[in-house]
Structure formats: C-alpha cells, structure tokens
Copies of this chain bind each other. A is one copy, B any other.
Amino acid sequence: MKVVIFGGGGFIGQRLARELLTEESLDQGKLTRLTLVDIAFPRDNFNDSRIEYIEADFSERAVIEKILKSNPTLIFHLAAVVSGEAEKNFDLGMKINFQASLQMLELCRSLKVHPRIVFASSCAVFGGDVSKVILDETGPKPQSSYGTQKAMVELLMNDYSRRGFVDARSLRLPTIAIRPGKPNTATSSFVSSIIREPLNGKKATFPVPLDTEVWIHSPKSVVQNFIHAANIDSSDLGTDRIINLPGLNTSIKEMISSLEQLTNPEVVSLITQKPDKFLESIVLTWPPRFDTKRARELGFKTDSSAEEIIGLYIEEEGIT
C-alpha cells in the first residue's frame, strides 16, 4: 500500500520513514510505496526503492492533488511552520499550518479518496493556567497562533472524519526531546538544546526559571505512537479523533540533574539561564501536567523518566 509523509524531510518524518521501511509495523497492509514530501531533505540515506521524494511546499495545490490522486491508504501529516516562526510570521503560519491543511482535506473530499490520516497536532493548543492538570475533556486555550492553527485543524479533522471524507486521528504532541542537530525556531527548542549542546561540549541556555516544568516525549516514543495511531480501528475512536499523547512531566532542573548523573558536573556547567521575554511569554503558558487516560486506554506508549530519555539520546547518538 501507498503511504505519504507530509513533512517527511524533518527529524520526526525521517525517523518515522526509517521505522516504516525497516519494520512491517502497519496493520493496514504491506508498504509498497513511501512518498516523502517536504521543502528540503537530508541526503538520501535510505537506499530503498520504495521511497519517493517530492520536494514541494505543503501549500502547493497541484502537487498535493497529484499525490492524493495516487490514492494513498495512509497519510502522516507532519508538515508545519514551527511555533516561534508562526508567531513571528502570522501569514506564513496561517498559510501552511491552517490553509494548506484545509486544502489537503478539501482535495480528499473532492477526489473522493478516503485516506487514513495521522495528524501531528500539539499540546501548544493548551495555554493559560499551568497549575491545572489537563484532562481529555479540557478545551484548547491556545496562547500562540501556532496552537490556534493546530486546534482549528483538529476540529476539521474531526468533522471531515465524522462526515466520512477522511479517517483522521490527531495526536497532540508534547515537546519532543531530545532532538539531535541544531537549535530551531520552535519556542521549545531549548528543551533539547540544554542536553544536546553540553554533550557536544558546547554552551547552552534556557530562557525560563530553573523549576519550570515541561511535558516531553522522546523521539522514539513519538514515532512508535504515530504508527500505533495509524493502526487503531476507527470504531475504537468514535467521533472524537483527538488524543493527548502520554508525555512525561519533568522540569528543567530535573533534566539537568539527570544529565549530570549520566555524565559529570563539567558537562552541566555549560548550561546557564538566560531569560527571554518572547520565549517566556509562550513557553510558560504551556501546561506541563496531563492525565492522558484515553491515550493509555488506547495503548499509546510513554517514557518513564528524564534519565531514560537522555540516556536513550546518548545511546542513539553514539556519544561516549
């Protein structure tokens, strides 16, 4: 069967592609074609004839239409302008995060293809009083345009599924950590940087108070959970296709002390606090505590500790 990853050039998209190519993990059928769509790709390191790269903007109607006409069974929709960028460039965020997603859904409807869609939403749909525990029934209160756009697309995914145009499920992703590579313009970028950069012998800063709590999820768990979401029967979801993923509640302080336990005081001495009003204004509105009852009942995976997540990163990156 044909599978598409919109945003297939990004870090999670690439890891997801690798997993799909190496494991027969999809219940819907055998993978025969994996189409990755993104504005840029890392060099091809898959060496797999099933892979197809399409370099395009997610908002390019003709490209998306052609892909949908090939009738993919499954679509992972990870294409997005990240939170910081969507806040600074309102038009770009609305265009890619919202309008292009609506366009993709409308094309599914008009072409009468009915793909299963796994949509990468975000816990940034929540905001405000961070002392409260977010329940499955808690409503989105985004404090960013990124969160607003994601929440709107979740509503569309639900309605287009209810009407039978597509068969979607929206996963609200915690902050993904630890991301390899370089810092990006996501407002949560520092959560990875404070671990990754010191491990590379580089300095790193965090823009919020040391005891700030965060809600994180490892790259390994999120990829497993994307595949798990693709394998859930529609009948087990009903009309509500939105799922708060089971992240891990930890704090900047706990992450740093876990890093120290896994390495040494010299490494953590590279980490300092550097307040940033813009980042604070967004990050400090993200609630770090969730009760993800529905996700647990549906069998989604979680991480057990900050130490485990950091240890996993050290292992995956081959850091000695």
CB-contact partner of A142 in B145, B151, B159, under 8 A: B159
Q: CB-nearest residue of chain B relative to A132?
A: B137
Q: Is the CB of B156 within 8 A of A240?
A: no
Contact B128 A240, beta carbon cutoff 8 Å = yes
Q: A90-B163, A148-B155, A152-B156 are in contact. Are A139 and B139 (CB under 8 A)?
A: yes
| Binary per-residue interface labels of chain A (21-58) against chain B in the complex, 1 for a CB within 8 Å, 0 otherwise | 00000000000000000000000000000000000000
A162 at interface, CB cutoff 8 A: yes
**1/0 contact string of A103-143 vs chain B (CB within 8 Å):** 00000000000000000000000011000100001111111
Residues from chain B with a CB closer than 8 A to the CB of A239 are 127-128, 141, 143
Task: List B contacts of A141 (CB < 8 A).
Answer: 137, 158, 239-240
Residue of B whose beta carbon sits closest to that of A93: B159
Q: Roughly how many angstroms separate A156 CA and B162 CA in the complex, as a whole number?
A: 22
| Choice from B90, B137, B156, B240 contacting A148 with Cβ under 8 Å | B156
- Does the CB pair A137–B140 fall under 8 Å? no
Min distance, Cβ A164 to any Cβ of chain B, angstroms: 11
Please tell me which one of the listed residues B90, B128, B137, B156 contacts residue A139 in the complex, with CB atoms under 8 A apart.
B137
CB distance from A172 to the nearest CB of B (A): 11
How many copies of this chain?
Answer: 2
- Nearest residue (CB) in B for A141 is B240
Question: Which residues on B sit within 8 Å (CB–CB) of A162?
Answer: 143
Interface string of A226-257 (1 = CB under 8 A from B): 00000000000001100000000000000000
Given that A152-B156, A158-B148 are known contacts, is A140 also in contact with B143, CB under 8 Å in the complex? no
Contacts of A132 in B (CB 8 A): 137
Are B140 and A139 touching (Cβ within 8 A)? yes
Chain B residues within an 8 Å CB radius of A158: 141-142, 148
Residues of B within 8 A of A138 (CB): 137-139
Interface flags, A143-173, vs B, CB<8A=1, else 0: 1010010011001101100110000000000
With both beta carbons as reference points, the residue of chain B lying nearest to A153 in the complex is identified as B152
Q: Chain A 206-234 against B: per-residue CB contact (8 Å), 1 yes, 0 no? A: 00000000000000000000000000000
Q: Which residues of B contact A90 (CB under 8 A)?
A: 163
A156 cross-chain contacts in B, Cβ below 8 A: 148, 152
Residues of B near A128 (CB, < 8 A) are: 239-240
Question: When chains A and B are docked, how far (Å) is the Cα of A151 from the Cα of B158?
Answer: 12
Rounded to whole angstroms, the CA-CA distance of A21 and B156 in the bound complex is 39
A163 touches B151 (CB 8 A): no
Bound Cα distance from A132 to B152, whole angstroms: 24
Q: Supply 12 A–B pairs (Cβ within 8 Å), ascending by A.
A: A90-B163, A137-B139, A138-B139, A140-B155, A141-B158, A141-B239, A141-B240, A142-B158, A143-B162, A143-B239, A145-B159, A148-B155
